[in-house]
Amino acid sequence: MRHVVGLGEGRGGAGGGGASFSGFLSPAKVEHSTLGESPAMKRARVAATGPKAEFFDDAGLDDGDVALAGKVGSLNGELLAEFESLLAFYASKKTEPWRERQYRKIVAVLKNLPFRITCLEDLNRPQCAVLNGGHTRTRVEEFLRRGKIQLAQNLQNDPRTVAISMLMNFGVQGGKGKYGSYVGTSTAEKWYDSGITTLPQLQHRIESDPTFLTHNQRVMWDFRSDFSQRVPRREVELIADVIAGVFPSSSVVEVMGSYSRGAPDCGDIDLLVTCHGDVGRRCSEAVEALTKAQFITATLRDSHHAPGAHSGQWMGGCRLASLVPARPGFADYTLHRRLDIKVYPPKFRAFAQLYFGSGQEFNRAIRLFATRQGYTLSDQGLRRATRGKNEKGEYGTLWEGPLLEDPSGCNWTTEASIFEFLGLPFIPLEDRDNGIGVARLEAMARAQATKPAAEEDCFIVPTDPRSVVAAANLQRLAPLPSLAEGWRSNGIVALDCEFVGVGRNTSGIGGERNALARASVVSYSGDVLLDTFVKVEEPVTDFRIHVTGLTQANLDQGISFQEARDHVIRLLEGRVVVGHSLAHDFKVLNYHPPAVLLRDTSSCPHLRPGDKGKSLKALSEQHLGVKIQDGTHCSVEDARAALYLYRSVQDLWDPTPPVLGTSAKAEALDKHLTEAAENMAAPVATGHNEPLAQHFDRLAARSHHYAKDHYVRVSRTLRSLPYHLQSPKDLLRPELRCVGRGKAHADIVRMLHEGVNEVNKGA
DNA sequence: CGGCTGTACTG
DNA sequence: CAGTAC
DNA sequence: GCCG
């Protein structure tokens, strides 16, 4: 049961700040405790005891260490300072986002490590994982030996780093780690390169040129002094009450961020509002009222009021003073505060809590974990997803399913349900921003990775001893093509079904329609994931026993059609499906995955039929040298046969993974790709667009991060095109979609008109 | 060698 | 698209 | 920078 502080009660008990803001009496509930433990902390603490203790046992920690956790930091002060210098250096360089991240993790761990590092062996403790890599371990070793890290010493006073850090924080000390100034590494570097290196210079430039700053930068500049002040808990609570006052009474307002972790004061205020109805509209209405009341004093970001949006959000500055008149003996609340408000419908509440209650690294870690499990996790739910490389070699989401329901039936009411779904122990709030939770997630991920393919995914009803015997021939096939990485083994299954005839028996051969009687799915390694008989609702008019070998007794052992279909879809969804004449199977299953995911051995250009035709039996004999379907068919055997046929030509037929959009877009995209494939002449030598490609190589060489990735993609795509790019119209072709509509597009158009050299002269 | 969270704003 | 935020 |  959650602890809910109603408005009337909370105020009186808290000793009364004397705040009376008529018109802003909060109808909504505010969830926070005015003293001691917050409900979120309590929730976390209660749920934490089991798994946390386990983790620390594994970690080889004793209770003393645990007790220290949370109020340490000075234990490794000197080492921390060294790494903070290194972090500052890399954080000032836009070319080093990943090193920066790594150092950020290192610093986070050192700040919270419950023991002092005195020897190299300490690095073997699991919490020190990030310190135990190649470079970092060497640096720590150097520190233990000489009491300092030379590189850090050298970089510590690097004037460029110092200046850029100053610019990124508008000269405010202790910046970073609270909220952004809207001046990142790129802008700061630009300013630095233009000669702005000191605060007075920056100030002069800002004052003399009214267009120098963007709107958001201007807000952060104007309020930089107020925003840098910590907000006491008491004021956070008052502000939460104000916000609650402008939302419907059924809403719930929760204070997230450092407040929820018990901090005595906060850098900014992060509020999660859960309300029914159109969250976008509720958010807009609230912001409007707060602006009218002069509570909101600046806006940094406001979600457009899009009806039916999944969330509404507003970011900006606020001040209590207009609502809480100054009175002698009480704080006058004149400081402006950074406030974020996010509004979600109840179904996303736990996801939003998870996101806004955790630190960045924890969120990245748990989302990465979800991805590795075949899901994608965000503040707006959980979906099935497969990731891999598409045909252009870009890494990304190949397929994404609809929002998942909570299998526990609790409708994702708690964060715990999300952890449970992902197979993770509940990680308490206090461990979600200090590196400990991240370390636990990474440990879980590693454990998961070494676990064999999920056996609980398999659903096997003992069917027919022949399936084992018959398939043995195929199992002996060796050597199989080496298992390629990623999607080439994980994302592929093979399907085969057996049918019996139902309906009016007109011709004497079979019923007029097919009914599913047995379904089999095997993994890339040939293991049976599903094999079951299926009950047939209608009377069977033809068992086709010479082919299927099935009898009424077999079907009676089976599961219902609906059940079988669910199992099949669960195993096939988002995966490449191999089979022979799959159309029949999908028609009967009434399930139609996008064509880009299908590999039908009956129509494979690399499996040329021989004299005996292109039946599965003939192809197996011809290409695999194996006799199958000797007597009646076995769907496991047939699925394996199709799988091994596929694997025998996989490199030729299927060198790269399929491209897919999200569910809604999938069909359209699939159509595009099919058309593109048809339009495109048979593959010919590549390299037709070398000069264009080289242009993007040059751009890539001097770009960074996302921009660099983009140019590399464009270059690669241009090189691999089987035709000359001649007119801007060609850019409309789907295979060139990755060019986008921006600079790359413009450059290509210009180069087509003016020639490559002209364009490069300009650049 | 190449991936490293996911979403959404502003300019 | 690039930059930035959370 | 780290990891597989």
Instruction: Please tell me what DSSP assigns to residue A534.
Output: B
- Three-state DSSP class for A482? coil
Does residue A600 lie within any of the structural domains?
Answer: yes
Token digits of residue A126: 């699991």
Q: Which of residues 315-374 of A touch strand B (CB under 7 A)?
A: 360, 363-364, 367-368, 370-371
Question: Can you give the C-alpha Rg of chain A in angstroms?
Answer: 31
Does residue A271 lie within any of the structural domains?
Answer: yes
- Ranges of residues in chain A whose predicted pLDDT is under 50: 1-23, 25, 33-70, 176, 451-486, 506-510, 659-685, 762-763
- Three-state DSSP class for A23? coil
| Angstrom distance (rounded) from CA A59 to CA A53 | 10
What is the three-state SS of A383-422?
EEEEEEECCCCCEEEEEEEEECCCCCCCCCCCHHHHHHHC
Å: A143 CA to B2 C1' = 31
Assess whether A491 and A559 both reside in one domain.
yes
CA A181 to chain centre: 26
Residue A167's nearest CA partner among A208, A201, A209, A216 is A201
Does residue A53 lie within any of the structural domains?
Answer: no
Total domains in chain A come to: 5
Assess whether A467 and A418 both reside in one domain.
no
Token digits of residue A273: 């509002």
Does residue A304 lie within any of the structural domains?
Answer: yes
Does residue A666 lie within any of the structural domains?
Answer: yes
What is the amino acid identity at position A230? R
Token digits of residue A41: 């902390």
Does residue A498 lie within any of the structural domains?
Answer: yes
Q: Strand C closer than 7 Å to the CB of A739?
A: yes
Å: A13 CA to C1 C1' = 53
Assess whether A256 and A347 both reside in one domain.
yes
Q: Strand C closer than 7 Å to the CB of A396?
A: no
Task: Tokens 């080289």: give the residue.
Answer: A694
Domain boundary among A640, A657, A679: A679
Residues with CB under 7 A from strand D: A 86, 98-99, 101-103, 129-130, 132-137, 446, 449
Assess whether A640 and A731 both reside in one domain.
no
* Tally of residues, chain A: 763
Give me the phi and psi of A628, to 5 degrees please.
-125, 175
Q: Are A535 and A560 in contact (CB under 8 A)?
A: yes
Assess whether A476 and A542 both reside in one domain.
yes
Helix (H) or strand (E) holding A576: strand A576-579
| Angstrom distance (rounded) from CA A198 to CA A165 | 11
Assess whether A303 and A207 both reside in one domain.
no
Strand C: which positions are within 7 A of a protein CB?
Answer: 1-6
Assess whether A214 and A124 both reside in one domain.
yes
Query: pLDDT tens digits, residue range A694-718?
Result: 888 888 777 776 677 667 767 766 7
Å: A534 CA to B9 C1' = 52
Residue A241, judged by CB atoms within 10 A of its CB (0-12, 13-18, 19+), counts as buried
The nucleotide closest to A98 (CA, C1' atoms) = D1
Give me the phi and psi of A298, to 5 degrees please.
-160, 150
Which residue's C-alpha is at the least distance from the C1' of B2? A395
Å: A130 CA to D3 C1' = 11
- Three-state DSSP class for A666? helix
- The confidence score (pLDDT) of residue A721 equals 64
The nucleotide closest to A745 (CA, C1' atoms) = C1
The nucleotide closest to A744 (CA, C1' atoms) = C1
Query: pLDDT tens digits, residue range A66-125?
Result: 333 445 567 899 999 999 999 999 999 999 999 999 999 899 888 878 889 999 999 988
| Angstrom distance (rounded) from CA A177 to CA A456 | 42
Helix (H) or strand (E) holding A270: strand A269-274
The 10 Å Cβ neighbour count of residue A174 is: 9
Assess whether A189 and A221 both reside in one domain.
yes
Q: Are A599 and A577 in contact (CB under 8 A)?
A: yes
CATH label of the domain that carries residue A412: 3.30.210.10
Instruction: Please tell me what DSSP assigns to residue A593.
Output: -
CATH label of the domain that carries residue A340: 3.30.460.10
Does residue A60 lie within any of the structural domains?
Answer: no
Å: A201 CA to B10 C1' = 26
The nucleotide closest to A449 (CA, C1' atoms) = D4
Å: A61 CA to C6 C1' = 33
Instruction: Please tell me what DSSP assigns to residue A603.
Output: G
Residue A203, judged by CB atoms within 10 A of its CB (0-12, 13-18, 19+), counts as middle
- The confidence score (pLDDT) of residue A177 equals 53
The nucleotide closest to A101 (CA, C1' atoms) = D1
Give me the phi and psi of A391, to 5 degrees please.
-70, -15
Assess whether A593 and A720 both reside in one domain.
no
Residue A358's nearest CA partner among A423, A261, A433, A470 is A433
Assess whether A487 and A630 both reside in one domain.
yes
Å: A8 CA to C3 C1' = 45
Does residue A48 lie within any of the structural domains?
Answer: no
Assess whether A202 and A90 both reside in one domain.
yes
Pairing between β-strand A312-318 and β-strand A296-302 as defined by DSSP bridges: antiparallel
Assess whether A567 and A640 both reside in one domain.
yes
What is the amino acid identity at position A38? S
Q: Which of residues 136-195 of A touch strand C (CB under 7 A)?
A: 179-188
Domain boundary among A395, A429, A450: A450
Range of the domain at A442: 358-450
Domain boundary among A679, A710, A733: A679
- The confidence score (pLDDT) of residue A351 equals 97
| Angstrom distance (rounded) from CA A411 to CA A552 | 41
CATH label of the domain that carries residue A533: 3.30.420.10
What are the distances in angstroms from CA A586 to CA A516, A533, A547?
Answer: 10, 17, 19
